[in-house]
Chains A and B, each alone.
Chain A
Amino acid sequence: MAVRDTADVSPVAGVPPDFFAPRVPRSRRVLRLATATVAVAGLVAASALAVNVVVNSCGSLRSGLTRVDGECVGVLTDVGAHTFEGLGDVQQRIRKQNEIVRAKSAAEKQPYVRVALLSPMTATAKSFMSRAQVRHAVQGAYVAQVRANGSAGTNDPPLVELILANVGSRQEQWRRVVRELERLADDENPLVAVIGMGTSVAATRDAARYLAASPTELPMIAGVATADDFREIDGFVRASPSDTDYVLALKAYLQTRGDLRKGMVVFDESEPDLYVRSLLAAYRRLLKEYLLPYERSFVGAGDPGQRARFLEPIAVSVCTNPQPDMILYAGRALDLDDFVNTLASRQCFTQKPLTILVGATGLTVAPETAARMAQTRITIVTAASVHPSWFTDDATVPVPKGLAAFVETFREAGFGDDDALLDGYALTHHDAMATAVTAIRLAKRSKLSAADVRGQLLNLNKDVVIPSAGGELSYTTARRADPVGKWVPVTVVPADAAPVPKGTPFITG
């Protein structure tokens, strides 16, 4: 509004310049002032929000991702809207597959459903999963999606779209992500299952508990969350063995090894690493006849600021009497290289070999580390979800029935990365996706909901066959989250350092 400047000096003596100005009532002035203040504050807040959205957006503004601490977290419904580092080619494949799903469903006027891979999609020096593990997890889920939909979406409905939900490298942004997932559960093409769930850390447990109590009743099928703590969470199952299963497999192995009788527990004292705590408890509970009465701890991947510290004293203690002939390692695989290298420097390596036992999804050891282990007489025995020879043409151990189909589809995908299978992340996430799809198809209805799918999780047994690669998986009310039929092979590194059982490995259930 154009308003002329009013005179500061009155033209009439004794009359103030604002003599005729309307006397706005105090209440009205206060109201106007408050309104103006609120409006300004709102404008500032909206501007700040807009700036925040723009500055912190990842990819396009509507990608669904927000930048937090330098990482793009959130739910990527359009999988191609943002490219996570190291996942570009996989994301493009998923995007194409999703396009096929949408086109096919539109053509046939059939609704499709969505499954979210909830997992770290980014990796940093402080993360629980390495960049390779992240990539392999996504690859595995994609392979299962392709198998579920058939090439060019030829399988029975509902076809399944895969979306990616990044909770951040340390899974700290789980809350905003699961809330977004809850909203997607009411979509026209609803989200009906969440797979992956990340590693066995407190954030994963909290997210699982949140979703368990959510009215959406989203089912959760974990890939590598092995901690026993998850067993009692409603709607939660996993495609991997539990930590108890790993230790049982190791116990079975130890029964074949008369030379390994004295074990010292070494554990990562980082909180809140549930995997470590759960594995440690299993060692203490199931292998107590092997345990020396003292334990050693270090600070590992659970505490990024104190990573792999306090390992040297352990190298000393293994050489003092009573000397252990095996270490029961309850720590992250990420720290194992450091641990091995520290033990390699122990002074008593010439006197006595040392075996490290560990339960893990999959363990890969760098060639130079393996060479050093051989020189310093260190052997790693691991109970895992996969065996390295499963993915070779001349397997030295039996392989699960469904493995070949998985490997074939994986190779057809053309990632150009055969070693990707060795850490087990691809296989377990494939099996998690396959489990989800099987439950979806079992619950097939005209209007499918997440609750329908959750209701079918513990019906995945008997005649219902999950096209899993790590064994003939099934789920029962007795074992709840833990799969029945999951193979837990034992691997020895270096391969010729110790005898390896040649028969069928430990199978859960």
Chain B
Amino acid sequence: MTIHHRRHAVELVREVMAHGRDSAPPPVLIFEGDRGSGKTALLTGLASLLDGRVPYAHIDLEADGRTGTPEVLYALAFHLGRPCPLYGTLHFPRLAVGKLVMDDDTLDLRDRDRARQQINALLREHRGVDRLVTTLREGAGDLPAVLPASVQTPVRLSTRLLASVIHRLASAAWSSRFVLGRAQKWYGAHGAPRPRPPVETLIDLNRWHRRPGEANNARQRDDLLWAAFRADLAAGLGRRLRRPWMPRCVVLIDNADTRLGRHFLIELARGRETVQDEPLAVVATSRAPFLGHLPEAQQRLLAAEEPLASGRDTDQPRPRWVRYPLPALTEADVVRMAREHPDLEPRIPRQIQQLGQGNPLVVSMLLAAAHEVSSWPEGGEELALALARLEPAPADDTDRRQFTVEERLIRHLLGIPDANPLPVDEMDILTTCAAARTVEQATALAMRSGLLTADGYAGRLGLMFDSLRSADPDADPPPLRRLLLRRLAARDPDGGDGWNRVHALLRDQCRARDDRIGELYHALALDQLEEVSGHVAAGVGAVPAAEWLAMLRAVTRAPTRRPHTAPPAQEAHRLARSTGADPESRLGRVTRLVVGLRLAADPFTGRLRADLHDALKRDYRALALHFPDDQSLLVAEANRHKGWADQWR
């Protein structure tokens, strides 16, 4: 599937791959984004673009199991070692020698003479490049297994090919001496303040690895392995390092905001401070900013479409870290994506974008699911049909389970693996919290449940809670909140944590805090249309147009628990008439605006929205006459709805 709206991100990668005029290392490029924002898909796409053209490694640091710097380095070495035109095949004999020695649990650390003999025998036994490759592959632990499927196959294939091709080479006595001799010798000049026999360093390395808790053993081990990795890389690339037209090798790290990822990246950045002609470009992904403890001068946050080279003072040092929040998909992107489903009803992608809010995963899954729907209802709830569908059956050779599209999205947005059931307690509180308009409201609801303490988030709820947050309370809610609101609507409305009870609670809290907009928002969620319309109508001509419009926009974001059974214009007419207000009066027009804007903000409202927006246009224009200070704002709103009416037609 094609990835949209990520061209600039790919261009940034090429910028860090290119050799600059100065010899300073390129910054680590970090793509930030929420779950489903397409970070993993982007790295997979980058891997596909790099494959066969530039050596690269692609690892996911969210893998379970005990992994540390050595395992990550083995994985990097193993994947960078795949053959690539112009670059040849990179070998990592120093790293492999280090691993061989580290893994020897039988080394006698009390008798140094015996330890020397053991190491010499061990290295003699393992002379051969194919064994080194196997060594690195085994050492990478679980890391290769979490690579995307598209990348795993060639890894296995190339490993077999590599092993078979070099088997003969490795069997030759001279090549074995060459491969291990130089790698082994390297340890004589590293790991200690002054040169000494390599075997002494290797004995120390074994000790550091087997007793990582003592002193700073783990740090010394990691430093030495990093140096071996870099030395192997530099030796493997040789003169290619100095060819300005040859891009750097690339390391793609998914989920770098894990503890392992942070540690690894910081070690990597520290190691390249003094390096000339840095051979690696590092690209990582993160759900949240994780560089808070680093000086701001070392970081740079790029705006959407901002190139790496722009706005930087050439006299200032290059930042070590560049963060680029992945922008959400635009409506135009979604329309382009919908072209992959040419039979799809053309208004459905707009509804999907309204729900997905540019989240690539949500958009792509809903588009695929909608494509499978054979007919659409006359009224609304089209997206409910798509969400209720089963996702495509997984391939036989995967352990992926099949869920409805809705559950798949919830699981993905919350990061819940297939093997685990949805956590009942957390889901309940999250569903309740979905009613909250602000973070403070949501936190208060969570604390009321007891799962959230005043000291902070407890367990997975904290991570899940992030997906509900929205920086602007008046912005359209993120997709997870939309989905959870549907769950909230499905509860008994008058039950303990039912729709009415929760919104009434929140309305009362807002009233107590004198939060008038919040109060009206939750009142509208409780379908108290007359109260809301009356208050909004009272502001017509009484408050400035901008202020009135902002209030109207914020209040009409209120969700509804009722299904949309009729076309939007009819539904709006019916609801407005139910208040008994004169349709031609100011109140009647305001009521239609409140009802219409609330329906237009709901992605589950029917797709036949042209008439709805036409009516909104007319009411905005009529009410504009009552705002002598600035009619133009309402006229502009009217024109905007005229445009939308054309788009939905």
What residues of chain A have their CB less than 8 Å away from a CB belonging to chain B?
A: 1-7, 10-15, 17-25, 28
Contact segment of B42-50, B113-121, B403-411: B42-50
5 residue pairs, one from A and one from B, having the closest CB atoms:
A11-B45, A2-B161, A14-B7, A6-B52, A21-B53
> CB-CB < 8 A to B17: which residues of A?
20
CA distance A198 to B217 in the complex (A): 92
Number of CB contacts from chain A to chain B under 8 A: 81
Please state if A1 and B83 are interface contacts (CB–CB under 8 Å).
yes
Please state if A24 and B86 are interface contacts (CB–CB under 8 Å).
yes
Among residues of A, the one whose C-beta sits closest to the C-beta of B50 is: A20
> CB-CB < 8 A to A14: which residues of B?
7
User: What are some 26 contacts across the A-B interface (CB < 8 A)?
Assistant: A1-B85, A3-B85, A4-B158, A6-B51, A7-B51, A10-B49, A11-B44, A11-B45, A11-B49, A12-B6, A13-B2, A13-B4, A13-B5, A15-B10, A17-B49, A19-B10, A19-B14, A20-B13, A20-B247, A22-B54, A22-B245, A22-B246, A22-B247, A24-B86, A24-B245, A25-B245
Name the interface residues of B212-250: CB closer than 8 Å to any CB of A: 245-247
Instruction: Give the shortest distance, in Å, between B535 (CB) and chain A (any CB).
Output: 46
Q: Is the interface of A mostly helix, strand, loop or mixed?
A: loop
Q: Does residue B330 face the partner (Cβ distance < 8 Å to A)?
A: no
Please state if B3 and A13 are interface contacts (CB–CB under 8 Å).
yes
CA distance A28 to B44 in the complex (A): 31
CA distance A10 to B45 in the complex (A): 8
Contact of A23 among B10, B45, B158, B245 (CB under 8 A): B245
* Known interface pairs A1-B83, A1-B85, A24-B245; A13-B336 also in contact (CB < 8 Å): yes
Instruction: Give the shortest distance, in Å, between B487 (CB) and chain A (any CB).
Output: 34
Q: Does residue B162 face the partner (Cβ distance < 8 Å to A)?
A: yes
Please state if B49 and A12 are interface contacts (CB–CB under 8 Å).
yes
CA distance A5 to B158 in the complex (A): 12
Please state if A12 and B10 are interface contacts (CB–CB under 8 Å).
yes
Contact of B51 among A4, A13, A24 (CB under 8 A): A4
Q: Does residue B84 face the partner (Cβ distance < 8 Å to A)?
A: yes
* Known interface pairs A14-B7, A22-B245, A22-B247; A6-B2 also in contact (CB < 8 Å): no
> CB-CB < 8 A to B86: which residues of A?
22, 24
Q: Does residue B172 face the partner (Cβ distance < 8 Å to A)?
A: no
Name the interface residues of B1-51: CB closer than 8 Å to any CB of A: 1-7, 10, 13-14, 17, 42, 44-46, 48-51
CA distance A14 to B2 in the complex (A): 10
> CB-CB < 8 A to A13: which residues of B?
2-7, 336
Contact of B54 among A4, A10, A20 (CB under 8 A): A20
Please state if A3 and B83 are interface contacts (CB–CB under 8 Å).
yes
> CB-CB < 8 A to B392: which residues of A?
none
Q: What are the interface flags for B276-293 relative to A under an 8 Å C-beta threshold, 1 for contact and 0 otherwise?
A: 000000000000000000
Instruction: Give the shortest distance, in Å, between A15 (CB) and chain B (any CB).
Output: 5
Q: Does residue B505 face the partner (Cβ distance < 8 Å to A)?
A: no
Total chain B interface residues with beta-carbon distance under 8 A:
38
Instruction: Give the shortest distance, in Å, between A386 (CB) and chain B (any CB).
Output: 70
What residues of chain B have their CB less than 8 Å away from a CB belonging to chain A?
A: 1-7, 10, 13-14, 17, 42, 44-46, 48-54, 83-86, 88-89, 154, 157-158, 161-162, 165, 245-247, 336
* Known interface pairs A2-B162, A12-B7, A13-B5; A19-B85 also in contact (CB < 8 Å): no
* Known interface pairs A24-B245, A25-B245; A2-B83 also in contact (CB < 8 Å): yes
Please state if A15 and B49 are interface contacts (CB–CB under 8 Å).
yes
CA distance A1 to B165 in the complex (A): 9
- Considering residues B1, B49, B86, B336, which has the most beta carbons from chain A within 10 angstroms of its beta carbon? B49
> CB-CB < 8 A to B7: which residues of A?
12-15
CA distance A2 to B153 in the complex (A): 13
Instruction: Give the shortest distance, in Å, between B12 (CB) and chain A (any CB).
Output: 12
Please state if A2 and B158 are interface contacts (CB–CB under 8 Å).
yes
- Considering residues A5, A6, A18, which has the most beta carbons from chain B within 10 angstroms of its beta carbon? A6
Among residues of B, the one whose C-beta sits closest to the C-beta of A32 is: B86
> CB-CB < 8 A to B45: which residues of A?
11-12
Instruction: Give the shortest distance, in Å, between B630 (CB) and chain A (any CB).
Output: 40
Among residues of B, the one whose C-beta sits closest to the C-beta of A5 is: B52
CA distance A22 to B51 in the complex (A): 12
Among residues of A, the one whose C-beta sits closest to the C-beta of B165 is: A2
> CB-CB < 8 A to B4: which residues of A?
13
> CB-CB < 8 A to B157: which residues of A?
2, 4
Among residues of A, the one whose C-beta sits closest to the C-beta of B18 is: A23
* Known interface pairs A2-B158, A3-B52, A4-B51; A20-B83 also in contact (CB < 8 Å): no
CA distance A18 to B48 in the complex (A): 10
- Considering residues A1, A3, A10, A11, which has the most beta carbons from chain B within 10 angstroms of its beta carbon? A11
> CB-CB < 8 A to B247: which residues of A?
20, 22
> CB-CB < 8 A to B83: which residues of A?
1-3
Instruction: Give the shortest distance, in Å, between B52 (CB) and chain A (any CB).
Output: 4
> CB-CB < 8 A to A28: which residues of B?
245
CA distance A19 to B14 in the complex (A): 8
Among residues of A, the one whose C-beta sits closest to the C-beta of B8 is: A14
Instruction: Give the shortest distance, in Å, between B79 (CB) and chain A (any CB).
Output: 13
Please state if B2 and A12 are interface contacts (CB–CB under 8 Å).
yes
Among residues of B, the one whose C-beta sits closest to the C-beta of A25 is: B245
Among residues of B, the one whose C-beta sits closest to the C-beta of A17 is: B49
Instruction: Give the shortest distance, in Å, between B498 (CB) and chain A (any CB).
Output: 44
CA distance A28 to B14 in the complex (A): 21
> CB-CB < 8 A to B162: which residues of A?
2
CA distance A2 to B156 in the complex (A): 12
Instruction: Give the shortest distance, in Å, between A22 (CB) and chain B (any CB).
Output: 5
> CB-CB < 8 A to B2: which residues of A?
10-13
> CB-CB < 8 A to A19: which residues of B?
10, 14, 49
Among residues of B, the one whose C-beta sits closest to the C-beta of A18 is: B53
> CB-CB < 8 A to B161: which residues of A?
2
CA distance A14 to B332 in the complex (A): 14
CA distance A98 to B17 in the complex (A): 73
Please state if B5 and A20 are interface contacts (CB–CB under 8 Å).
no
Instruction: Give the shortest distance, in Å, between B110 (CB) and chain A (any CB).
Output: 46
Please state if A20 and B3 are interface contacts (CB–CB under 8 Å).
no
CA distance A14 to B245 in the complex (A): 23
Instruction: Give the shortest distance, in Å, between A25 (CB) and chain B (any CB).
Output: 6
Instruction: Give the shortest distance, in Å, between B81 (CB) and chain A (any CB).
Output: 12
CA distance A473 to B88 in the complex (A): 76
CA distance A13 to B246 in the complex (A): 24
CA distance A462 to B83 in the complex (A): 83
CA distance A476 to B189 in the complex (A): 84
A11-B2, A20-B14, A21-B53 known, 20 other contacts, Cβ within 8 Å: A1-B83, A2-B157, A2-B158, A2-B162, A4-B52, A4-B154, A7-B51, A12-B2, A12-B6, A12-B7, A12-B10, A13-B336, A14-B7, A15-B7, A15-B10, A19-B14, A19-B49, A22-B54, A23-B245, A24-B245
> CB-CB < 8 A to B246: which residues of A?
22
CA distance A423 to B417 in the complex (A): 108
Instruction: Give the shortest distance, in Å, between A21 (CB) and chain B (any CB).
Output: 5
Instruction: Give the shortest distance, in Å, between A470 (CB) and chain B (any CB).
Output: 68
CA distance A18 to B89 in the complex (A): 20
CA distance A3 to B87 in the complex (A): 12
CA distance A12 to B13 in the complex (A): 13
> CB-CB < 8 A to A2: which residues of B?
83, 157-158, 161-162, 165
CA distance A13 to B42 in the complex (A): 11
> CB-CB < 8 A to B53: which residues of A?
6, 18, 20-22
> CB-CB < 8 A to B84: which residues of A?
3
> CB-CB < 8 A to B6: which residues of A?
12-13, 15
CA distance A463 to B162 in the complex (A): 82
CA distance A19 to B89 in the complex (A): 21
> CB-CB < 8 A to B48: which residues of A?
7, 11
> CB-CB < 8 A to A15: which residues of B?
6-7, 10, 49
> CB-CB < 8 A to B165: which residues of A?
2
> CB-CB < 8 A to B245: which residues of A?
22-25, 28
CA distance A12 to B50 in the complex (A): 12
Please state if A1 and B14 are interface contacts (CB–CB under 8 Å).
no
> CB-CB < 8 A to A20: which residues of B?
13-14, 17, 49-50, 53-54, 247
Instruction: Give the shortest distance, in Å, between B31 (CB) and chain A (any CB).
Output: 13
Instruction: Give the shortest distance, in Å, between A441 (CB) and chain B (any CB).
Output: 55
